[in-house]
Chain A
Amino acid sequence: MSLDANRAAPIARVGAVDAVSLRGARFRYPGAIEDAILIDHFAVGAGEHVFVKGPSGCGKTTLLSLIAGVLVANEGVVALDGHDWATMSSAARDHVRADHVGYIFQQFNLLPYLSVLDNVLLPCRFSRTRAARAGDQGSSAAVRARDLLAQMGLGKEQAARAASTLSVGQQQRVAAARALIGQPALIIADEPTSALDEAVRESFMRVLLTACAEAGSALVFVSHDARLADRFTRHIDLRLLNRASSIREEASA
C-alpha cells in the first residue's frame, strides 16, 4: 500500500518549478578579499538527479550552504523550490529548509542517543509539512519511516536499535531515509559514500537513487569520485560552473 503511495507522489511534482535555481549568484565570506562563489546560471529541475563533481577547495561546501539557505548570496538569486532565500528572514529560511531540504552528510549523520527510527523521524519534529506529508497517506509518519528503512534494507529490528550500534554503511542508509522522509523537494548529499567501501557504496547508491526517484525529490549529489557519475544522466563540474576568482587561481596553480 505504501509503495503505491510512493509511486503516486512524483506525479504531483511533474511540471513544478525548479527545485534549485541560481542566477548570477555571488558570495564572499565576510572579511574575505575574494568571492567564494560566482555562478551565472545553475538549475536543478523538480525530481532531477544531478552529479556535482568537484575536488575540495572549489567552493563545494559554500555552494551547498547557499542552496540550503544556511548562507545567503551577496548578489543574484538562489532559490529553492521557487523560494528566494534572500527575501526571507533567518527564521523563515530555517522553516523552508526544514520543509524542503533533506541533507546527507559525509558521515556521522545520526544522533547517537536516538534510535534509528527516531533519527529518521527527526525532520518531522521540526517540520509540520514533512510530518504531514509523511503521514498523509493514511499512515503515521512512523509507519512511513519504517517503510523507508525497509526500502534501505533495514528491518524492524534495526529500526529499534540505537543509531550508534549500526555500521557506517547502515548509518548512511538511515541518513538517506531521514533525508527522504516527508518527500522534500531537494535532497543534498554531500559526499555520502566517501566513508563506505566499494560493495556497500554500490548498494547505497542503488537504494538512494531508487528512493529519490520514488519520492520525486530532486537530488544534488556531490562527490569527487568520478566512478559514481555513471549513475547520473546530468553531470556538473563545479570547477567550470564556479567562476569565482579564488577558484580559478587555485585551479591554475
Chain B
Amino acid sequence: MSELLSLAVRSAWNRRFVLSLVMSSIALSTFLLLGIERIRSDVHENFSQSVSGTDLIVGARTGSVQLLLYSVFRIGGATNNIRWSSVQAIAKSRAVAWIVPLSLGDSHRGFPVVATTGDYFDHFQYGDHQSLTMAEGKRFSGVFDAVIGSEVASRLRYKLGDHVVLSHGDGAFAANDHADKPFTVVGVLAATGTPVDRSVHISLEAMEAIHLDWVAGAPIPGTSVPADQVMQHDLTPKNVTAALIGLKSRAAVFGVQRYVSEYDGEPLMAILPGVALDELWDVVGIGEKALLAMSLLVAIVSMAGLVAVILAGLNERRRELAILRAVGAGPRQVLLLLALEGGLITASGVFLGFVLSALAVLLLGDWSASHFGIALHLHRPGQDEVILLAGLLLGGWVASLGPGYRAYRLSLADGLSPRT
C-alpha cells in the first residue's frame, strides 16, 4: 500500500502540470464552497446578533417579523405608535430592569433616524453582549445633537461638528425637510456590523422639537417655531414607535410578554428578539441556500474535470500500466493506484482550498466588516464545514474510481502488450 502510494505520488508528480490544473479547480470549488458557507454562517451570526441583551421588544400590535424589522433593522414603518404613558407603565413593572424607547420615521439622506434616550447607549447590545462604544465624540446632550453610526459617517464623510438636516419620513419630498432645525454631529459610534451603523441617533426631545409645528405629517403653515425657542415648549414625547426591554431575570420573560399583550391602555405586543430573528432568517435564508446550491454545482463540475483529465491521460499511460503489470502489479493494484491518485489530487485540492479560504478570511475579515458590515471570523471548522469537506473528499475520490475502473479494464485487456 505505501509502495503504491509512493508510486502514485511520483507518477502524479510526473504529470504535475495537468494534474495541478485539476487540483486548482478542486481547490477553487472548495474555496468557493467554504467561503460561501463561512459568509453564510457569519452573516447568519451577525444577523442573529443584531440585537442582544434585549429580552423583549414592545410595539403596537402587528406581526412579530414586522416589529423586528422596523425596531431593529429600521426597515419599513410601524402601523401604529405606542403611547408614552404605556411605556412608563411598563417601565414601572417590577420585572423590568430597563426600557429604551425608540421613535422612528424620519431619515437623513436615506439613513434612518432613531430618537431614543441616553439609556440606549448603556443598554443596547449586539453580537455577544457587546455594548456600543464611541469612535469619537460623545453622546447627545443638547436637543439638536446627533450621534451617527459608523457607516453614516464614512459614507457621507461626516465629522464632529458637521450640521445635518433631517427629513420627515423617507425624505422623498424635499418640502418635508426639517431644514429650520439643523442638528450637529457630536458623536460617531464605532462599527458594529448591525443596523446601528446606518442610523442617526437623536434624543426623543429632539424628535418632539422638530415636529412641534407639524400636524399629521406636514408643517402647519404660519406656526413655525424657531429652533431657539423650542425649549419653551414641553418636549416630553407623546408617542414612541417601539421600546426595547431588559428584564431583571430572564425567567420573567413570558410573564412580562403576557402583561404587555394584555395591557389595558392600548393594544400592544411584545416579541422575543431571538425568536423573531429566526423567523425572519427563514425568509431571507432562501437566497443563501441558492448560493450554496450554486457552489455545489461548481464543485460537481470540478469533479467532472478531474474525471475527464484522468480519463484523457489514461491512454497515454497504457504503457506505464503495462510496465507495472510486467513487474508484478495486478489489475487490482492498477485500480488502487488510480484511486490513490484521484484521492491524492482531491485531498490536496481540498486542503489548498481550505487554506485559501482561511487566508481569505484572515486577510479580508476586517475589510469585509468595515465595508459590508459582515464580520468574518476565523475559527475551527464547524460541523457544516466538516460535512462539506468530507463530501468533497468523498466525491472526488468516488469520481476518480471511474477512471480507475477504466484503467483496470484496460490493463486486463492489454496485459503486457499495450496497443499504443
- A residues bordering B, Cβ < 8 Å? 61, 64-65, 68, 70-71, 90-91, 94-95, 97-99, 103, 105, 108-114, 122-123, 125-127, 130, 178, 190
B118 within 8 A of A: no
Chain A residues in 8 Å Cβ range of B14: 112-113
Known: A97-B328, A103-B326, A125-B3. A111 touches B320 (CB 8 A): yes
Chain A residues in 8 Å Cβ range of B10: 111, 113-114
Chain A residues in 8 Å Cβ range of B333: 94, 126
Q: Report B60-76 residues with CB < 8 Å from chain A CB.
A: none
Q: Report B300-336 residues with CB < 8 Å from chain A CB.
A: 319-320, 322-333
Q: Closest CB of chain B to A50's CB: distance in Å?
A: 18
> Can you list, as one digit per residue, whether each of B136-150 has a CB less than 8 Å from chain A (1) or not (0)?
000000000000000
- Main secondary structure on B side of the interface with A: helix
B79 within 8 A of A: no
B416 within 8 A of A: yes
Question: In the bound complex, how far is the Cα of B3 from the Cα of A98, in angstroms?
Answer: 15
Interface centre among B3, B333, B415, by most chain A C-beta atoms within 10 angstroms, is B415
- Which residue of B7, B327, B332 is within 8 Å of A98 (Cβ)? B327
- Which residue of A65, A111, A113, A127 is within 8 Å of B328 (Cβ)? A127
Closest to A118 in B: B10
Q: Closest CB of chain A to B19's CB: distance in Å?
A: 12
Chain B residues in 8 Å Cβ range of A190: 416-417
- Which residue of B327, B331, B417 is within 8 Å of A126 (Cβ)? B327
Chain A residues in 8 Å Cβ range of B322: 105
Chain A residues in 8 Å Cβ range of B133: none
- Which residue of A65, A71, A103, A108 is within 8 Å of B327 (Cβ)? A103
10 more CB-based (< 8 A) A-B contacts, given A98-B327, A105-B323, A190-B416: A70-B416, A90-B331, A103-B327, A103-B416, A111-B10, A111-B11, A113-B10, A122-B327, A125-B7, A125-B327
Closest to B332 in A: A91
B13 within 8 A of A: yes
The 6 closest A-B pairs by CB, nearest first: A98-B328, A126-B328, A94-B330, A113-B14, A70-B415, A103-B326
